[in-house]
Structure 1
Amino acid sequence: MSYKFTGEAGAALAFLIGYLAIFGWMCYGYLTHRLKWRSRYSLLFFHVIIRLASQACGVGFGVLGFANTNLFLAFLILGAEGYFSLVLCTFRFVISWHQHNLPSGESWLEPRDTASTNKVRKFLVFLFLGPLAFLVYHDNPMVFFHSALILANAAIVIGGSYLAGADYNDPNSPDTKRRLQISKITRTTGQSVFLAGNAMLLVIILVTMRNNRRDGDSRGKRGSVHPTLWLLFIAWFPLIVRGIFGILQASVFSLSYYNPDNYRSTGFTPRFTLIEYFLGVLTEWLACVILNLTYLTSRHDPKKREVTGDNKMEGKEEVVN
């Protein structure tokens, strides 16, 4: 059987190179200590690794087509996890800005632990309760957001996996119709939670910008907005486009991965390839680039301060940015 380098493989390769460029920059940052492992960038680095794996699978599927369906399934699953990690990244970047720039050194999204015993307790709560940890940490907004996004991500993966077993040679069979309906409900629900999370993220960024303009920040300026917050605001736009596309892809069958009309013998149709990579992959890549640019705008921010047991703040030299 002969294999061809299709347009889909070319699109996947283009974004593989794009993410490799980000990966190279971040590795350089870590090696030169411009970026620290114990910082917000580590979660973004994790997103980049997921996306590299996803794009590599996309290239493979674009060349092999349905001769290797495992690559296709890996592409879908890794793509969903990439979006999940990127949304969490943006929340973490806002929290980090709070901790570095607010006079209290605290973020109202996530109070910092004051003792190692609290950290152990939180780890155990997450270990045994998972996404239900917000029942214990009800005074910690980020735990609630994190838990909601975990549940939404699980709904998307379960819905996609359930639909994978449908018989598309008989789309009118009761089993196929049932699988399509259940998958549509679960995936749309999961994507709706992500979209709601993105909407809440915008509110959080705008409130932070308003407070920053009114109260000032580490620069000692009032009446202006920190450039890092402007970058986070700009990064929100490709994220919301990606979220809306996720809703449409889950609820509109003509945009679904599981619509046979979106495929030909070698893989995706050119129309579906353009839609998928323009609205699904390009948006994530742009948001990732913008989040990396916050390094330039936050280089002179004060170091994060350590919260002691009596809530006093002390200098913390090893954690920056």
Structure 2
Amino acid sequence: MPEFTGEAGAALVFLIGYLAVFGWMLFAYLTHRIKWRSRYSLLFFHVTIRVASQACGIGFGVLGFANTNLFLAFLILGAEGYFSLVLCAFRFVISWHQHNLASRESWLEPRDLPNTNKLRKFFLFIFLGPLAFLFYRDNPMVIFHCVLILANVAIVVGGSYLAGADYSDPNSADTRKRLQVSKISRTAGQSVFLAGNAILLGIILVTIRNNRRDGDARKKKGTVHPTLTLLLIAWFPLIVRGIFGILQASVFSLSYYNPDNYGASGFTHRFTAIEYVLGVLTEWIACVLLNLTYFTSKNDPKKSDLHDTVDLNRIEGSAPADVEKL
């Protein structure tokens, strides 16, 4: 008979937490406080995925192994939630560059020129995948997107491959093979995400250093823009989540596929606490901090029209750093 377990309770707590964020973002969209075509759209996508993931977590916590499809959906949606959140953090740094640097350009992702064929660019990504970077070598984010996509595929494939294992006979050759292949695949994917988080820290610190030296849209030098402070704070739960991802993929005692982590109706209390504190709480905190940048960036100027930026940079003797003075 279905029962409301501790795992279902933890999933419900974070479902409420993510629904609160979902409600705030939907309100902000409907009242035009934030735009659909903005950095917040990817964050909204993350929140939507996490709402679905937590709903599946409640279902699995109540039904247990009577419905394993809910369990698989919980795992896959959780992986996609972390993937989207890492991309969110980079998008927020890029947006800060575009709103606050004198050039109104981000050195992470130069904006497309007005005559760029965006449909062609889209299909290059669709058909070429990671090879698209051959056409956009001057755009670091293209390469990074491609690498993260491959890492995400490795994590999802590794988890799905292990889902077919026979856990009634954990010492069988097939089960042991599946465990090894999944461990390698998931660890490799999580390692890329962890490396991405390390790179993110370097980018944030370089941006903060330049902000102190050159100032920003507030016309202040020697200080740090509050949005950058929030991004730096948000990095800490993200790196904890990344380290946990590595450990969960490589240490069997922390794995979803360790039978000792399950009772008759689902996760043990120990595993539930580990999963939700290190896996879900860290993502929710980072998500809330990214949302708070709305308040710290309200007075930032709009992104300059790219036509104006290009024309200004063509003026003799005006380097991008000097655009603000013209």
More deviation in 305-314 or 170-179?
305-314
1:313 and 1:285 mapped to 2: Cα distance? 41
1:302 and 1:121 mapped to 2: Cα distance? 31
1:40 partner letter: R
More deviation in 161-170 or 181-190?
161-170
- 1:29 corresponds in structure 2 to 28
What aligned pairs does 1:1-321 form with structure 2 within 5 A after superposition?
2-308=1-307, 311-312=310-311
Superposition TM-score, scaled by structure 1 size: 0.95
SS of 2:110's equivalent? coil
1:43 and 1:312 mapped to 2: Cα distance? 31
2:97 partner letter: H
SS of 1:308's equivalent? helix
1:77 partner letter: I
SS of 2:260's equivalent? helix
Residue 166 of structure 1, CA deviation: 1.0
The answer on whether the counterparts of 1:238 and 1:287 sit within 8 Å (CA) in structure 2 is: yes
Superposition TM-score, scaled by structure 2 size: 0.94
Residue 132 of structure 1, CA deviation: 2.5
1:181 partner letter: Q
The answer on whether the counterparts of 1:307 and 1:313 sit within 8 Å (CA) in structure 2 is: no
1:284 and 1:233 mapped to 2: Cα distance? 14
2:24 and 2:309 mapped to 1: Cα distance? 40
| Structure 1 ranges of 4+ moved more than 3 A | none
Residue 313 of structure 1, CA deviation: 6.5
More deviation in 171-180 or 290-299?
171-180
% identity of equivalent residues: 79
2:115 and 2:52 mapped to 1: Cα distance? 35
Residue 310 of structure 1, CA deviation: 8.2
SS of 1:266's equivalent? coil
> CA offsets per residue over residues 264-309 of structure 1, 9 Å max, x none?
1100000000000000000000000000000000000000112129
1:171 partner letter: P
Q: Which runs of 5+ in 1 are unaligned?
A: 315-321
Q: Which runs of 5+ in 2 are unaligned?
A: 314-326
2:117 and 2:225 mapped to 1: Cα distance? 32
- Aligned positions, number: 313
Distance change in 2, residues 1:56/1:189 (3 Å): same
- 1:319 corresponds in structure 2 to none
SS of 1:300's equivalent? coil
